Amino acid sequence: MLGGGGGGQGGSGQELRAADSAANKREFVVNVESSSSNRHSLNLRNSAFFIPPPPLTITTAHPEERGRWETVVLAYKTLGVVFGGLVTSPLYVYPSMPLKSPTEQDYLGIYSIMFWTLTLIGVVKYTSIALKADDQGEGGTFALYSLLCRNMNIGILSSKQAQTNSSLSHSVLHGSTENKSRLGIFFERSIVARRVLLFIAMLGTCMLIGDGILTPAISVLSAMDGIRAPFPSVSKSLVEALSAGVLVVLFLLQKFGTSRVSFMFSPIMGAWTLCTPLVGIYSIIQHYPSIFKALSPHYIFRFFWRNGKEGWLLLGGTVLCITGSEALFADLGHFNRSSIQIAFLLTIYPSLVLTYAGQTAYLIKNPNDHDDGFYKFIPTTIYWPIFIIATLAAVVASQSLISATFSVIKQSVVLDYFPKIKVVHTSSNKEGEVYSPEVNCILMILCVAVILIFGDGKDIGNAFGVVVSLVMLITTILLTLVMIMIWRTPPWLVAIYFFIFFTMEGVYASAVLSKIPEGGWIPFAISFILAFIMFGWFYGRQKKIEYELTHKIDLGRLGILLSEPGIQRVPGFCFFYTNIQDGLTPILGHYIKNMKSLHTVTIFTTLRYLLVPKVAAHERIVVNKLGLEGVYGCVIQYGYADSLNLEGDDFLSQVTDSLQLCIQNCSGCVTSDHEEVQEEISTFEEAKLAGVVHIRGKTRFYIGNNCGWFERSMLAFYEFLHSNCRSALPALGVPLPQRIEVGMLYEA
């Protein structure tokens, strides 16, 4: 969409069916999901504005079916991208726990909790269940929400728009009411429930961005803290300064992309994943060979029975053992299900179980060393090699979360949940590898600030625990909805899943929420600011779309405007951007009335972002004649993993070729003279030679006295965001001399 102005198009997810009649007339039933989550259901019979795209062929960058060898190679690559945060968690789990004179039984209980957390959440929930809930190969919290919206009619609708839904489109696209679950029907009928679901998805997105701030801070700080063991004279302030310096260098390198250094990632993480469990095995043999008796769950019950509230509060540090598990699911689109499952079950899970067992065995014999629970259990002879590997592994873990943050914000921008920012593709081969200068700068400032202001590892650990527990809880809720409404899982299985994981993660969340005064407020502050920005932008875009739908220009009105005295058709080729599916933007009438002209060839262009990763190249550009001389319609379809660049002759040639084909095909459908067709094509070529121009709206709200205080404040905030975000046309690659912006006030 044209995020910086009112003439752009918000993204859309689309499903299409066409029925051909004997008279070659076609009825298209299309469901369009706008970027602001509005779902406009339209039944368009021979509509002059509707441009029927071909049946959509969804392509993904990573097909599920791969050879065994390629899957093994992918599994190796996941070590450096997917599991960085998870496999480096032993650096800070024990130091984050507020232990007070722990006993042998306390450590056995803590290890039992960590083992069953890794087993239930890591193996059962994410590896066995969540990875199956992909949305066209993509994973993560947003993918779950997208999957629900794709299969159920649960987007955000105003009541007026909801009433326009035809029964035909509803039944064709989403199935009859009889085939739906009661919960699905409830969500479709309740606007409050759909808004709550949208809020949950937004909160998950904001928390994941918060993860991208806290992971680099706690990982690098915990790794660099290893300097203090052999050199006690080194102050904590110096460690914090060194950690901040490492992060600054890391963020400055982001503009080069991860591809140039990614070949180092997997070997580093492979070395870390291999070395730490070997040290763990050595520690088990040396200190406490019977550590694995703690796998019995009764140690967990004895731990809570003995420690009560103090044991419950310790869960705020214990939950960090599963940090980074969301990346198991979120990075699904970069690899495939089998590769992630193989890597986790055969390397990551055993590595963590053995590493934590070794740490716990050491701490049982040295109970007061928990504040430096990782480096103290490393043998002196291999201390420095492990320190180097740990530091590099922390950098890799930081890189994976930084890259994930770029991807999440890019998806939010594309789908119109976030103001327009600059997004750069740093790889010509990987569309998902993106970089944003603005986001990178903000992340760097926040990461360094977290380290310098909250240098205590326990405070950052408390903040990190809030993020980890809430993201897991949100994923559990959305997965439960997928099971009920899409998979139609037997109710007793859903009940077991929900009870186990919601209870387990709810207890974790209650423990970390008690740490809000001790650093836990950091992610809430970050998430609140991000959610306020997202909601303010979403609210303004909703109001803008409602105004444009109410004041849209139909084909008859356009014909009247062009027939008025004084209106001229000037030479040239014009792309006029509109975001209305069954009409034209009101900016068009404003432009014609004031400029008294329209170009001889005018193409009303809609940028339609689909809730799919990629759209096939031959399906991206769809054109249609609108019935008036020199007036055409064009839809450019893009998925949220696609790049969008309209610069150069390649795009123009694709549009012109499609238009010429459309003109020739139309000559076979209606009575038309061959000479008229040739004349139309000739006019088309002359317009190209006269020059190309791209016109879009630059709209603002006029906030009158009839607006309430909430609407006034939200629209004022939207106008602030709108005025300071980037224009969409530069992001589209349109040359500066070809851009024209038409200003217009929308009355709120």
List, in order, residues 6 or more apart from 636 with CB less than 8 Å away.
605, 606, 607, 608, 620, 621, 644
pLDDT of 640: 57
Nearest by Cα to 655 from 703, 627, 694: 694
Q: Is the whole model's pTM more than 0.75, yes or no?
A: no
Q: List, for residues 35-56, the tens digit of each pLDDT value.
A: 333 333 333 333 344 444 444 4
Nearest by Cα to 161 from 18, 37, 326, 312: 37
Q: List, for residues 447-461, the tens digit of each pLDDT value.
A: 888 888 876 666 677
Pairing of strands 26-33, 597-610: unpaired
- The phi and psi torsions of 48 (rounded to 5 degrees) equal -70, -25
Say which amino acid occupies 461.
G
Helices (H), 596-708: 649-667, 674-690
Nearest by Cα to 522 from 436, 447, 441, 439: 447
Taking a C-beta distance cutoff of 8 angstroms, is the pair 641, 432 a contact? Answer: yes
Say which amino acid occupies 642.
D
For the chain, the residue count is 748
Taking a C-beta distance cutoff of 8 angstroms, is the pair 508, 187 a contact? Answer: no
Burial degree of 191 (CB within 10 A; 0-12, 13-18, 19+)? middle
Alpha-carbon distance of 499 to 493, in angstroms, equals 10
Kindly state the helix (H) or strand (E) to which residue 444 belongs, with its residue range. helix 437-453
Give percent helix, percent strand, percent coil of the chain, each to the nearest 5.
65, 10, 25
SS3 label, residue 623: strand
Which token pair is 728? 């969409």
pLDDT of 200: 84
Residue 500: left if φ>0, alpha if ψ -120 to 50, beta else—which one?
A: alpha
Find the radius of gyration of the CA atoms of the chain: 29
List, in order, residues 6 or more apart from 30 with CB less than 8 Å away.
14, 15, 16, 42, 44, 50, 169, 581
Alpha-carbon distance of 469 to 461, in angstroms, equals 12
Nearest by Cα to 421 from 433, 408, 430: 408
Alpha-carbon distance of 184 to 637, in angstroms, equals 29
pLDDT of 284: 94
Nearest by Cα to 78 from 261, 350, 335: 335
Residue segments in the chain with a per-residue pLDDT below the cut of 50? 1-66, 157-177, 670-671
Say which amino acid occupies 308.
G
CB count within 10 Å of CB 293 equals 12
